[in-house]
Structure 1
Amino acid sequence: MLPIRLTAEEAAILGIAGGALVLACSVLSSRAEARRMATHRAEMDARRSKYVDDSGAGSTAALPNAQGLKLFLRHWTPETGSPVKGVVIMVHGLTAHGGMYAGVARQLAAQGLATVASDLQGNGLSDGAAGLRGYVRQFNDYVDDLDRVMAWASERHPGVPVFLLGESMGGTVVLQALRRQGAAGKVRGAVLMAPAIRAHPKVLPPPVIMPFLRGLSLLFPTLPVPDDSVIAKDNWVGAFGDTAWAEAAYGDPLFTLERPRLGMLEMLSVMADLYGNLDQIRTPLLVCHSPSDARTELANSEALAQRACVEDKELLMVPGGRHMLFHDTPEITSRVTAHVTKWLASRC
């Protein structure tokens, strides 16, 4: 095949045409995203308007974030007339939503603690970036959203201590927030439930294809990952210590039972950086983890408890438990919830 030789003028024209094609594709993509976002927002507004709260939440709210997305909040408070001693802000994990913490929130309310639980963007009743479920443009958008939720909670409960509670990926979000000087200074203490400091090898795609997926994620971040093991029912049940909880969650329309987007692979880089800087955590900690957890590994919680630069820290190991310790067997759930409640109440 003979080489193609272009004059300078032809090369310039070809370059301009190529640039125009890229620009046209970008414009079409942006318009498609805008249409998808408009449809998504209409659907989410409809879902929120039909949402019937049966969790005993005192109130709900939609909080705009920096991107203009609506974050859905649930707000539990002590009985009318009872003083609020502190406020706990809960951050759920991958695929979940804030409503699943209703039982814990009611127990905290009995001890004078208010609770705010938001649905992360792209989950539950919150809007999603680009009109998608289970997707965030960059992981630290979750942390920025948490800053807004903290401000919202502090406005409604001024002058009382603020606590953060993060479960699984929510633990990653909380720890990233605690690394920020401004946020850390506002937080009296943090509870980490099986935090995702490093991913368990069992929930990752095969190592041989990881470099390919990472490269693909930079080009097509909104594509679903090819592996559905995270949401496969067999693996899903293994995250709960009680099949009743697992069945209820799997049938919950507010759970995001879709394959994660390729862009979520950025979380692996976030976790690697977090693991290397655990000594930046200087906030009092309670870390709860089960040796039997098949989603996140106890060894990483042990590393956090050892390396965090704070004297007030505790690692609660829960033998026989699974990943979702607030949704385990009745005995384990009761014991863990009581321990968490006592830890928080004693620091108000």
Structure 2
Amino acid sequence: MAYPIHERAQEAFSEFVDDPFLQKHGVIRRQSHMRNRRGLDIYTQSWAPAGSSRRPCGLVCMIHGFMVHSGGPWELTAIAMVKQGFAVYALDLQGHGRSEGLRGYIPDIQWLLDDCIEFFNCSRAEAPGLPAFLYGESLGGALALLVSLRQPGVWKGVILSGPMCGIARSFMPPWPMELLLPLASIVVPTWKAVPTQSLVKASYKEPTFRKLIRTDPYLCRGLPRVASARELLKACDEVQRRSYEVCVPLLILHGDTDHVCDVKATEVVYERVQSHDKTLKILPGMWHQLIGEPPENVDCVFKLVFSWLRDRATGACNGNAKG
């Protein structure tokens, strides 16, 4: 199997992303912390092929979505990429997972970009000369695109999964909350007052996977905070406004039944980007979180991802991948 989600435990994530599971897949995990410019402790981790003879053929720097974190199911994606010969780096965004900050609170989207760039600069310095790629899901997709715009010429390519180029109408704040959001985010920025559907229920198609997600102790729960909603909309606006500047090789994967992030906005962004090497795959019947699909869909998605990565790692991956 291309993706280790098929071996997932049936009770809790903590029961399978453990040392025996990593050893079984030939993966070494390193956990660390970074003190950011605002004095907050940001949790970081990396995964690499076990054994000194298995030099990575490239780096993948991953950015997770809103309310989730770099562990749990996200770690399965990292393991799958390591098995393809890549070293993988990820951080928990401020207010998410094991990083400091009020849970689910994004005071300024630019601060998240600052943290990503600081950590990924250090990550790339550990393996100079290797091709480096960005991979982002949902909010992480928007952040990955904005990181690439801040660092032109640095990244070999960017992969976006269900990217937040726009928020689906069903997840937008209702009228008149949408109009009042700028004022409310100044007066009561941390207030959990933006009514939405259940993000987990709307994102993951497989009921068993939804059940597993809900056992995750690091998942942010409850309604989005007012300032966070404002910053998500600002990120969408910046992605759309600056999409004409994007020149990096780009792969976008988006389920056509995504009820969280707007597929039409993704299509508009794709048409605007100036990359000579760009691919958009609209996946019939798939939901927002592509790892929450049935196993055959997950394998199909990640075969596309792995093939795209390896083709752009300029031959460095030859002979490194494990099935």
User: Aligned partner of 2:92: which letter?
Assistant: D
Q: CA contact under 8 A between 1:237 and 1:247: conserved in structure 2?
A: no
Identity of aligned residues (%): 28
Residues in 1 aligned to 2:100 and 2:17: alpha-carbon distance in whole angstroms: 18
Instruction: Tell me what 1:302 maps to.
Output: 267
Distance change >3 Å, CA 326–CA 198, structure 1 → 2: same
Q: CA contact under 8 A between 1:326 and 1:337: conserved in structure 2?
A: no
User: Aligned partner of 1:344: which letter?
Assistant: L
Residues in 2 aligned to 1:154 and 1:273: alpha-carbon distance in whole angstroms: 26
Q: For 1:108-146, what per-residue CA distance to the aligned partner results, in whole angstroms no more than 9, with x for missing partners?
A: 112210111211110001111xxx111122111111011
Q: Which has the higher helix share?
A: 1
Q: 2:224 aligns with which of 260, 263, 282?
A: 260
- Cα deviation, residue 213, structure 1: 2.7
Distance change >3 Å, CA 141–CA 52, structure 1 → 2: farther
Instruction: Tell me what 1:284 maps to.
Output: 249
1:155 aligns with 2:112: no
Residues in 2 aligned to 1:161 and 1:226: alpha-carbon distance in whole angstroms: 40
1:59 aligns with 2:19: no
User: Aligned partner of 1:58: which letter?
Assistant: R
Distance change >3 Å, CA 51–CA 140, structure 1 → 2: farther
User: Aligned partner of 1:73: which letter?
Assistant: T
1:85 aligns with 2:53: no
Instruction: Tell me what 2:153 maps to.
Output: 185
Distance change >3 Å, CA 207–CA 115, structure 1 → 2: same
Structure 1 stretches of 4+ moved >3 Å: 50-53
Residues in 1 aligned to 2:37 and 2:17: alpha-carbon distance in whole angstroms: 26
Q: How many residue pairs were aligned? A: 290
User: Aligned partner of 2:30: which letter?
Assistant: S
User: Aligned partner of 1:108: which letter?
Assistant: M
1:125 aligns with 2:111: no
Instruction: Tell me what 1:106 maps to.
Output: 79
Q: Which stretches in structure 1 are left out of the alignment for 5+ residues?
A: 1-49
Instruction: Tell me what 2:186 maps to.
Output: 218
- Cα deviation, residue 224, structure 1: 1.4
- Cα deviation, residue 78, structure 1: 1.4
- Cα deviation, residue 152, structure 1: 2.0
Q: For 1:292-337, what per-residue CA distance to the aligned partner results, in whole angstroms no more than 9, with x for missing partners?
A: 1111122122122211111100001211211000221101111111
Instruction: Tell me what 2:110 maps to.
Output: 140
Instruction: Tell me what 1:197 maps to.
Output: 165
Residues in 2 aligned to 1:108 and 1:184: alpha-carbon distance in whole angstroms: 24
1:206 aligns with 2:174: yes
- Cα deviation, residue 201, structure 1: 1.0
Q: For 1:200-255, what per-residue CA distance to the aligned partner results, in whole angstroms no more than 9, with x for missing partners?
A: 1101121222222321111221111242x24x3xx522311211111111121111
Q: For 1:154-178, what per-residue CA distance to the aligned partner results, in whole angstroms no more than 9, with x for missing partners?
A: 1222210111011001111111112
What SS does the aligned partner of 1:77 have?
strand
Q: CA contact under 8 A between 2:109 and 2:232: conserved in structure 1?
A: yes
Q: CA contact under 8 A between 1:113 and 1:345: conserved in structure 2?
A: no
User: Aligned partner of 2:65: which letter?
Assistant: G
Q: CA contact under 8 A between 2:17 and 2:75: conserved in structure 1?
A: no
What SS does the aligned partner of 2:60 have?
strand
- Cα deviation, residue 82, structure 1: 0.4
Residues in 2 aligned to 1:241 and 1:53: alpha-carbon distance in whole angstroms: 21
Tell which structure's C-alpha radius of gyration is larger.
Answer: 1
Q: CA contact under 8 A between 2:194 and 2:225: conserved in structure 1?
A: no
Residues in 2 aligned to 1:219 and 1:96: alpha-carbon distance in whole angstroms: 26
Q: CA contact under 8 A between 1:79 and 1:109: conserved in structure 2?
A: no
TM-score, with normalisation over the residues of structure 1?
0.79
- Cα deviation, residue 52, structure 1: 10
What SS does the aligned partner of 1:98 have?
coil
1:250 aligns with 2:250: no
Residues in 1 aligned to 2:237 and 2:121: alpha-carbon distance in whole angstroms: 28
What SS does the aligned partner of 2:147 have?
helix
Residues in 2 aligned to 1:123 and 1:255: alpha-carbon distance in whole angstroms: 8
User: Aligned partner of 2:131: which letter?
Assistant: P
Q: Which stretches in structure 2 are left out of the alignment for 5+ residues?
A: 1-13, 23-27, 314-323
User: Aligned partner of 1:295: which letter?
Assistant: V
User: Aligned partner of 1:243: which letter?
Assistant: P
What SS does the aligned partner of 1:104 have?
helix
Residues in 2 aligned to 1:147 and 1:277: alpha-carbon distance in whole angstroms: 18
Q: CA contact under 8 A between 1:89 and 1:150: conserved in structure 2?
A: yes
Q: Point out the more displaced range, 247-256 or 152-161.
A: 152-161
Residues in 2 aligned to 1:107 and 1:226: alpha-carbon distance in whole angstroms: 35
Residues in 1 aligned to 2:194 and 2:76: alpha-carbon distance in whole angstroms: 35
CA RMSD after TM alignment: 1.9
Higher RCO, Cα 8 Å, sep 6+: 2
Residues in 1 aligned to 2:281 and 2:16: alpha-carbon distance in whole angstroms: 35
Residues in 1 aligned to 2:80 and 2:15: alpha-carbon distance in whole angstroms: 23
Distance change >3 Å, CA 257–CA 285, structure 1 → 2: same
TM-score, with normalisation over the residues of structure 2?
0.85
Instruction: Tell me what 2:138 maps to.
Output: 168
